[in-house]
Each structure stands twice: as structure tokens, then as C-alpha cells.
Amino acid sequence: MNTPKRLQPGDTVGIVSTSSPTTPEAVGNMKRYFEKRGYSVKVAPNALAKFGFMAGTNKQRADDFNLMLHDPDVRMIVTSMGGAGAVHLLPLIDYKAISSDPKIVTGLSNPAIILNAISHVARVPTFHGPNGVEFGTGPLT
């Protein structure tokens, strides 16, 4: 397994929407949560897109995910929501990019299929644990 480096203060967290759409308020909460803890945040260009019941087209969602994989500053990728549609991204993900530059990738529910594919194909461990909407709400805000 190609283990990603531990996240350090000042590292960049990328927020992507791989499944169902999210809201500007939820993305704002996610962004504030990570910035408050000393991380930079990049929000994918199509993170707020909507296409039917998904967060943008398959191409938009895959392009955003791959953008974060190719960005050397991004050390952690957080999915914004669960929902539906992540399975359509599997053939579009650049597994070589994450294998050559392992990053922390976390998500839960529907994005778990992406996590499993990354672990299997790229040999990079991933983390099943909260989607971005869980960050920035509740007692740890």
C-alpha cells in the first residue's frame, strides 16, 4: 500500500461533490471547519453543480476529483455528500495520479465505492468517515 502522509497544519484540503448535490451553506461550513483548524481549502469548480439528482454530470464530478488528485498542494480530499451516482466515476478516475502521489481521501455512504476502488486499484488506503456536510456542524464547530 502507498500510504499518504499525515495531514499537517497549513496543508490543503480539497472539497469535491461525487454524488448528490450540496448547498453553498454546507460548503461554507466545511470550508470554515478546516480553515479554523489551520488548513487551506480548495473547493472544486463544480462542487455546487446540479444535474438531475446528482452534483453535476459524470464528467464534471470526475474532472473535479481528478483536478484534486493532480493538484500537488491538495493533501486531503473530502467528499461533500453521500447520495447517488459515484459509481459512474469509477472508469474516469486517474488511479495512476493517486498512486504516484497518495492523498488522504475520505467519504461515507455513496462515495465509499470510490474509496474502495482507490484502495484496490491504486493501492492507497482510504478513510470511511464523515462526508463534508458533517464537518462544521455540531459540538466541534
Does a structural domain hold residue 94? Answer: yes
Under DSSP, is residue 11 helix (H, G, I), strand (E, B) or coil?
A: coil
| Structural domain count, the chain | 1
Does a structural domain hold residue 3? Answer: no
Range of the domain at 47: 15-134
Predicted pLDDT of residue 141 = 54
Predicted pLDDT of residue 130 = 81
Predicted pLDDT of residue 140 = 55
Does a structural domain hold residue 105? Answer: yes
Distance from C-alpha of 6 to C-alpha of 72, rounded to nearest angstrom = 15
Residue 124: give its domain's CATH number: 3.40.50.10740
The stretches in the chain having pLDDT less than 50 are none
Predicted pLDDT of residue 139 = 57
Does a structural domain hold residue 82? Answer: yes
Predicted pLDDT of residue 89 = 98
Does a structural domain hold residue 109? Answer: yes
Predicted pLDDT of residue 134 = 79
Predicted pLDDT of residue 129 = 83
